[in-house]
Structure 1
Amino acid sequence: MKQISVLVLAIVLMAATVTNVFDDLSFTEDDAKENVIASFGGGFISSSYEVIKKAKGLPVDLKVAGTRQLIRFAKDYSKTSEFQKKYTKWRNERLGYKKKKLGIPNPMKMIDNAIDKQLNKADDEKRFPSNANELIKQRLQEFLSTSASVDFNAQLNGSMFANPEYEAKSGQWKMCFRAGKAVVEAAREEAQAWLKELE
């Protein structure tokens, strides 16, 4: 499995509703919905190597059109009650929130748990805000910041960057470079428009 951000997957993947690439890449809308949650929640998305390989083989114009479509798909899905419900469930699982078990409560344990919950609440909210839109804003800003610094004229020595500074860059930076300027610019335009809607 290869892990990349949803916006970078959009860059490499997406001619979805334009040419029905979901079918061509064996990547369904249900897969996309699940990946939207994982992507914005964890900052990455999982997709098989075969999906990535097929996506890379698309012509640039389809990648550009597809990038716009996938980001719009994610934006539209994020507005649904289904997304909000799944995000809340995902968040609670990651933060270790569990339903209370039936039984006789231990008053001291209840007090300890209440104190711990108050102390951890601010940290939990920073890691995974209860409002999904806040997390989406963070991820969009992270993508815009990373993608703005990509040098599309960087030289490669085989599969590695000639400049050691570039070789030390994040996986997302490198994926943006490999996706190409036209595709990244389209993704940035869509991300900026989405961010503007959220602010």
Structure 2
Amino acid sequence: MKSLSIFVLAITLLAATVTNIFEDLSVTEDDAKENVIASFGGGFISTSYEVIKKAKSLPDELQVAGTRQLIRFAKEYSKTSDFQKKYTKWRNERLGYKKKKLGIPNPMKMIDNAIDKQLNKADDEKRFPADAKELIKQRLKEFLTISATVDFDAKLNGSMFANPAYEAKDGQWKMCFRAGKSVVEAAREEAQAWLKELE
């Protein structure tokens, strides 16, 4: 009976933690949805410095629980028609697709545009696939590859890495380092599970 009480208490505490992460970070679910689109599209965490600062100020166990909740939130949101619609709009804006304008068409310009469109189509599809699931798989794989190489014992000189090779790493690697080992391990577990579902 005692173990059941502890289990129920643990679940209650976890539920309290989970339901408060948006409040803890002062982020609305609508803002979080916009950040999910921009983050997957851009290939990096898209949020304000203030949110990151608040996240870093949380105790480690809340950071880990919050990381898991936010990834699960992103996963569930990515399954909605709203996500696909907003992703398609975001993608079209990034690729420069615009609504047709009225007016007299210039035949030479139309030919040039048609050729450019065909040449760029494969590159566009690779960078920003029309199917959001493909982009999500791509981003999850990128995260898993980069995060697997992070040396969480790396030394800093002020805000710069003592090792020049680490200082030369990209922003994602550095973001993983600054997030901390426990947060990244939790994010990796969630990302691996999500990727497995998508494949």
TM-score, normalisation: structure 1: 0.86
- The SS at the match of 1:153 is coil
- Find the counterpart in structure 1 of residue 173 from structure 2: 173
- Find the counterpart in structure 2 of residue 26 from structure 1: 26
1:1-199 mapped onto 2 (5 Å cutoff)? 18-199=18-199
User: Within 2, Cα distance between the matches of 1:173 and 1:157?
Assistant: 17
Higher mean displacement: 98-107 or 143-152:
98-107
User: Within 1, Cα distance between the matches of 2:83 and 2:43?
Assistant: 16
Q: CA deviation at 1:78?
A: 0.6
Distance 1:160 1:107, change over 3 A: closer
Q: CA deviation at 1:133?
A: 1.0
Q: CA deviation at 1:35?
A: 0.6
User: Within 1, Cα distance between the matches of 2:43 and 2:68?
Assistant: 19
Higher mean displacement: 67-76 or 175-184:
175-184
User: Within 1, Cα distance between the matches of 2:66 and 2:142?
Assistant: 21
User: Within 2, Cα distance between the matches of 1:127 and 1:114?
Assistant: 20
Tell me the alpha carbon deviations over residues 10-30 of structure 1, each in whole angstroms, 9 at most, x when there is no partner. Answer: xxxxx9961413123221111
Question: Counterpart of 1:125 in structure 2: which amino acid?
Answer: E
Tell me the alpha carbon deviations over residues 148-177 of structure 1, each in whole angstroms, 9 at most, x when there is no partner. Answer: 001112222232222121121122212212
Q: CA deviation at 1:55?
A: 1.0
Contact kept in structure 2, 1:16 and 1:22, CA below 8 Å: no
- The SS at the match of 1:20 is helix
Higher-Rg structure is 2
User: Within 2, Cα distance between the matches of 1:16 and 1:49?
Assistant: 25
Contact kept in structure 2, 1:25 and 1:55, CA below 8 Å: yes
Q: CA deviation at 1:115?
A: 2.2
- Structure 1: any 5+ residue segments left out of the alignment? 1-14
Question: Counterpart of 1:84 in structure 2: which amino acid?
Answer: Q
TM-score, normalisation: structure 2: 0.86
Question: Counterpart of 1:102 in structure 2: which amino acid?
Answer: L
User: Within 1, Cα distance between the matches of 2:30 and 2:16?
Assistant: 13
User: Within 2, Cα distance between the matches of 1:16 and 1:170?
Assistant: 35
Identity %: 88
- Larger RCO, structures 1/2 (Cα 8 Å, 6+ apart): 1
- Find the counterpart in structure 1 of residue 3 from structure 2: none
